[in-house]
Amino acid sequence: LPPTRDLLPATEEWEIDRIIGHRTTAKRSGRARQYLIRWKGLDAAEDSWLNEADLRNAPELKREY
Number of domains in the chain: 1
Which residue range(s) make up the domain with 26? 13-64
- List strands edge to edge, sheet with 16-27: 16-27, 30-39, 48-51
More confident residue, 8 or 48: 48
In the predicted model, what is the mean pLDDT of residues 34-61?
A: 94
Within a domain: 54: yes
Whichever domain contains 49, its CATH number is 2.40.50.40
pLDDT in tens, 23-36: 999 988 889 999 99
Does the residue 7 lie in any domain?
A: no
pTM (two decimals): 0.74
